[in-house]
Each structure stands twice: as structure tokens, then as C-alpha cells.
Structure 1
Amino acid sequence: MTTRLPPQPTPRDLAALLSRVALKDAGALRTLYDFTAAKLFGVALRILSRREWAEEALQDGFINIWRYAGDYREDLAAPLTWMTAIVRNRALDFLRRQKTGRAEAVERESAEGMNSAGVGSTIALEDWSESFEELLPGDERDPAESALLSEAARQLEICMKRLDANQRQAVALAYLRDQSHGEIAQTLDVPLGTVKSWVRRGLEKLKLCMGGQ
């Protein structure tokens, strides 16, 4: 008989589902997926920035949940916390495996001591342009405003290139990928305090540069 759970499951409900998944109950896994996939997908998307990558990381995460549900201990972590950690780790692993675009730059910079070939030095101008354009509603933008935005993006790209490689990468991850300081620390495998310092100093230099100094 199928157990009916409330629309918003409690931690106890999720723990019960994990117990059934540990017994290889495929129906319980489907129910668990229905309850948690949206939130866990958001975790993966925040790290990876691309929907197709996030979907793959989510799928890998649920494969691991299926495999290791028997290892879950309710007295050590809430069910959703445990599942979030699995999906987050799969997303970070996926990010490190990528060999194209900005994901490759992140991996190379981390592996080689964050040299000058990192994320910040490979930021596409259109990425910054899109970020600036989001600040204005579409119905208020005219050709003159678009030109100003484009020029601002070019100036920002110039200023980004003047930052130290570490600062450039940290600022790019924070404001282009919308990663938290904690997520950047995990991605780059450096202390949280180091990330905060890089971001703070990078923003200070950008402010001076964008002001014409």
C-alpha cells in the first residue's frame, strides 16, 4: 500500500523515505525525487550556472542517494541537508571535470596555483554586457542607453584585467556565477577568509578603476 505524504514533507517524512530507498524501494525514490528535486536542482544550478550541467549533476546525485541511502543517519544530519551535500559534491565534481569554457579555466587555475590564465582573464565581454543590461527594464532601454551599457562593460573588462589573478577569479565567481564566498572557497579549495580578502580587495580596485583612476 502506498503511503500518502503531505504536500510539504517534514524531515521525519524524508527520513522515512530514505529508509525505504535504502531497501531499494524505487517508488520511494520517485517520491523523494518529487519532493526534493526542485530545491536540489537549484543547488546544482547555483554552482554550475548551466541548466544541462545542473540536470546531469542532479541525476548523478540521486544515483548516489539510491546507492548510499543506507548510510544516512538521522541523528547526524537532517535528510535534506544530507541530500544537499551529495548533490553539491556531485556538482563540484562535475565542474572540475569540464574542459571547455569557463569551467576549464576554473579547473586549470585551481590545479596550477591560480595562474594568470584563470576565469577572470577569460570573461567574455557579452557576459558583462548582459549583467549590466539586467539593471534596466527592457521598455526603458533605448539605443543611447545600450551604447552606454556596452561602453561600461568594456571599461569593466579592462579593469578586471588589471586585478591580480586571484582577485579577478574570486570576483568573477561571486558576481558572474553568483556564488557565495563559501561556495567559492569550495570551488577553489582555499580558506574562506582568503576568498573574502580577494573579493574585498578586488572590488576596491575595481571601484578605483571604474572611477577613472
Structure 2
Amino acid sequence: MRQVVLDTETTGIGEGHRIIEIGCVEVIERKLTGRHYHKYINPQRDIDAEAQEVHGISNEWLIETGAPVFSQVADEFREFIAGAELVIHNAAFDIGMMDAEFNRLNMTNTREFCGVLDTLLLAREMFPGSRVSLDALCKRYDIDNSHRELHGALLDAEILADVYLMMTGGQTDLALAMEEGQQNGVVDIALDDSLLNVELPIVRASATEVEAHEQFMDLVDKKSEGAIWRRP
């Protein structure tokens, strides 16, 4: 079975926004082949400041490096992913952005020539009530993502490939520890009594900070399940 683990970076969130980076890694029969597809793309529109804070890509840098427009890479990109099952975290967002780009060129939608597996939905089924962002899953499976200071499509695709393979065939150290340490379904956890009566200061956010936080969480929704307190 051929799978392509895929991620995109964009100019922002919402109608009219464009893809500015595509990163893909190939997996065949659950093994990374070493083949990948990676392109930066000139979106021919401004990049939102909030989005740039997430991925660090600017219009000026894309122009200076001679990044192509999407129409120049569309055929080679489709050729790389055609016939594969796409593995994407929060697939609805990336597929929506890809289809918008394809539709501008009168090309067929992604699901007409690819399967899609959404690791965000898979993780929610596996770990109900838990955080299932890519960073949270890396922590759960002890996958090193310390080099991920900014979001990058190829880097995120490589990390997601490791996460997906662990989700579907590996086992976490935490799970093993629970199996070894539990008795009758109960795990013994030693607590430090000195921490029980510690009084923690409460620092409340200002209205300006709350507004800025909400704007940032809109961007977080692209890569994860969103803030847990936003769930219905």
C-alpha cells in the first residue's frame, strides 16, 4: 500500500487564502522510502501576519527565492500523490486548500484520485478527551520534535509520518509502564506530600490578551483539534 504523508502551510485561514508550502513523504507498506515532495509557492497575495508568526514564511522571501506559482507545480504535485492514500492531520483543512487551488485550474478534486486518512480524527477515536495536536501526539509517543520551532510543511509531514506509524503499529512507553505497574486495573502513583498545600498565584488575562489569544487559537485549529475549551 502506498501512502503519502502530507502537510501544507498557507497565507491564512478562510476563503481566498492560498497554499505557500507543500511537504510530502512517501510510505510504502508502512516503511518510509526516502522519497519526498517539497515546494514553496508564491501565493500572489499577502500573507496574514498571524500566519507568518506560525510558519515564518514571508512574501518577500518567496519572491527573492523565485518560488513558482501553484499552476507551475500543479501537475508534478498531482503526479506525486496520485493513487496514494494521503495521511493528513486535520485533513479537512489541507484538502480544502488543495481543492481550491485545483479548482482555480479547472482540475478535479483531490478525493477523485487519492484516498484520505485523517490522523486527527483517528487520534480522537483512540484518545477521547485528550489533546491530539501533533505536538501532543509527539509527547505521547516520545517522538523528538524539539527542532520544530516553527511550522514547516516538510518537517511536519516527517514528524506526522513517525506519529502515524506509532499510532497504527507501535506502543507508547506510558502504555507499557501501565501494564507493568497496574494491579486490578489500578496504577500506583507516588505523590510528593509537600506539593499538596502549595498556593499558586492567579494571574488573569486582560481583554487585549484574551482577544490576541483567540486570534492565535484560530491558527492553532489548522494544525490540531483546537483548544479543548472550544469543543461543544
**TM norm structure 2:** 0.22
Higher helix share: 1
**TM norm structure 1:** 0.24
Higher strand share: 2
Query: 1 or 2 for the larger relative contact order (CA 8 Å, sep ≥6)?
Result: 2
